Amino acid sequence: MGEVIIRGMVYDDVDQVMNIEKVRFSLPWSKDAIASELFNELAYYQCAEKSGKIVGYMGMWKIINECHITNIAVLPEFRNKGIGAMLIEKTIEICKSSEISMMTLEVRVSNEPAIKLYKKFGFIPVGKRPNYYVKPVEDALIMWKKIYLD
């Protein structure tokens, strides 16, 4: 199999991204919601592609000098292969080039692998959002990362 390429999401990717949404999340975004993000001037979505197949994706919103990570997901059979890290690295590059100095995200408090990955990239827990998630109901851990602009 070929190498993983990180690239900007295009409309033709939406169906494959929807498949990832359905596999990874108990309450997936709708196809229209994902497609509309491609036309949102404040949003940037990227895909991880391997041998022509979308195996992961990540989305962010640029809000003044902050980046809010909206979603990140990798197909189960491609997890623990560094793809999530590649997506985060690319997002950090985009933030630096856009002079964004802070990144934030929410993650299920029980999602220890994701929390560990985010900490590896310098995200720190700063609080919780009670009952933020549904199916099942669970708190969200709020994490922030400072980006040092060169």
Catalytic site residue 106?
yes
The HSE-up count of residue 78 (CA atoms within 13 Å, CB side) is 24
Q: Which of 118, 133, 138, 148 is catalytic?
A: 118
**What is the C-alpha to C-alpha distance for residues 83 and 78, in angstroms, rounded to an integer?**
7
Q: Which of 11, 106, 132, 133 is catalytic?
A: 106
**What is the C-alpha to C-alpha distance for residues 73 and 79, in angstroms, rounded to an integer?**
9
Q: Which of 100, 101, 119, 121 is nearest to 111 (CA)?
A: 119
* Residue numbers annotated as active site: 106, 118
